Structure 1
């Protein structure tokens, strides 16, 4: 009998952090893995491990189409899609230019869902597949000066829930991963954008406090390694009946639980104190 072809996985934002760790984990589990990023030169480490580098910009429709066509032409299937590409852009709602706000939605929401649209027909034809959307504990909680970022993650949570119902009859699972604090470049990038948007003006004092929290060495030491998220994804894609959500990484479960339990204003106080907002 012919050998059963290896299952295929596509991981976006694979050049570092969670994406890189996930690509390595899925390869360890036996998948043929395509690691996607805008710059393939940043994928050399994965290529050295046998993972197939793929140039892909999630805001460019032609790039998404050509990437999916390349994978299906080479392997004939897509079994797992991990929508990991994304970034955090902080700043007061009043200060952030709408072009920046729209771009964050383009990357974090529309890019992920457009790629999902392109992959779903192949999964439906197989009557199997798993779409993994990386949101954040920030898709369940909120922080000051993070409204546009949280908006993208709240949106991706809701879209994932609707998609889970729509895809179920076709044998397709939809899983949400909600990372807590993870040791990546994310905090520094968010802090830089925060200072650019709101470092001066009426929100400057809040911006200084939140940027300090984002860059805090004490917080960084408590953050979990990206492999914690990769392990959760590995469990999800190999489970016969995966959970709909996996909250993992520093702070994710307790903060999501607090948000569920506390009244809004009580949670406002907890978060304000946690990021050191001036009183």
Structure 2
């Protein structure tokens, strides 16, 4: 039995620019500063440059490109014997209604958020089994528990991630591999659209069934734009650093939790449906979130 690897493979670490919340970079920095050997990966090597400047190993990895995943896993294995911890952070959020979103975009959403992370997990498991232990951390969302108009396909990937994680946890428990799911509330400073065109949809922005809805959708999300002094709903959001702190717990705890729910909204919605029932929860969604 080989000595256990401490190497951490983190996907989606080039987040922090464009359409992402910055949690990937925050996680990489926190774990690196705590003394862990971190391999921070992503598709945008330019965005990884600040991490490289901190002394973090940065590598190109696209979870929709199997060869790039194989290359990274082989590199970590050659240098540390195995991937000790995999943090599946790479994801993106598809905006669009269920009936109008082109299926090619839906498939792309699932390729990154579900199929890619599943294949990468498969690639690291043999090394974890060989060393007799390992950790898999899945970056999910409070929206793993319910869905709202406009992001149903993205939220479906988070529902899928919960099922995959629960199944995997039982399958690898005998190998001393621990699986945890991170479910944050909305993250301040994440991708917050300022115009409908920022949503990146194809042909749904204008002249369609949901014009008024998308305008309000953008306005509603503005509450999460202000990071210094958030107001209203923004005060219930969390920061990327808060998420990173919890991820560190999932990596270092001797007995990590099955799920880490970060922030009041994430903790509340996980229980609310069972308390007030499906119809009551449906009324809550219609009251709180943008509805066509």
What CA deviation, in whole Å up to 9, does each residue of 1:148-179 have, x standing for no partner? 01110000100000000001000100000001
Alignment map for 1:117-196 (pairs within 5 Å)? 117-188=122-193, 192-193=198-199, 196=202
Instruction: Give the distance between the partners of 2:279 and 2:216, measured in 1 at CA.
Output: 20
Instruction: Give the distance between the partners of 2:218 and 2:203, measured in 1 at CA.
Output: 11
Of 195, 199, 214, the match for 2:221: 214
What CA deviation, in whole Å up to 9, does each residue of 1:208-242 have, x standing for no partner? 22232223344445421111111111111111111
1:230 equivalent in alignment to 2:237:
no
Report the equivalent of 2:30: 25
Q: What CA RMSD, in Å, does the superposition of the two structures yield over aligned residues?
A: 2.1
TM-score between the two structures when normalised by the length of structure 1: 0.92
Where in structure 1 do 4 or more consecutive aligned residues deviate above 4 Å? 194-197
Using the TM superposition, give the Cα deviation of residue 6 of structure 1 relative to its aligned residue in structure 2, in angstroms. 6.7
TM-score between the two structures when normalised by the length of structure 2: 0.88
1:246 equivalent in alignment to 2:252:
no
Contact 1:11/1:81 (<8 A) preserved: yes
Of 84, 106, 111, the match for 1:106: 111
Using the TM superposition, give the Cα deviation of residue 112 of structure 1 relative to its aligned residue in structure 2, in angstroms. 0.7
Contact 2:9/2:38 (<8 A) preserved: yes
Report the equivalent of 1:80: 85
For structure 2, list consecutive stretches of 5 or more residues without a partner in the other structure: 17-21, 226-230
Contact 2:4/2:84 (<8 A) preserved: no
What CA deviation, in whole Å up to 9, does each residue of 1:167-217 have, x standing for no partner? 100010000000111124334399633665532311222222223222334
Of 36, 43, 55, the match for 2:41: 36
Aligned residue pairs total: 275
Range with greater deviation from structure 2 (213-222 or 267-276): 213-222
Report the equivalent of 2:289: 275
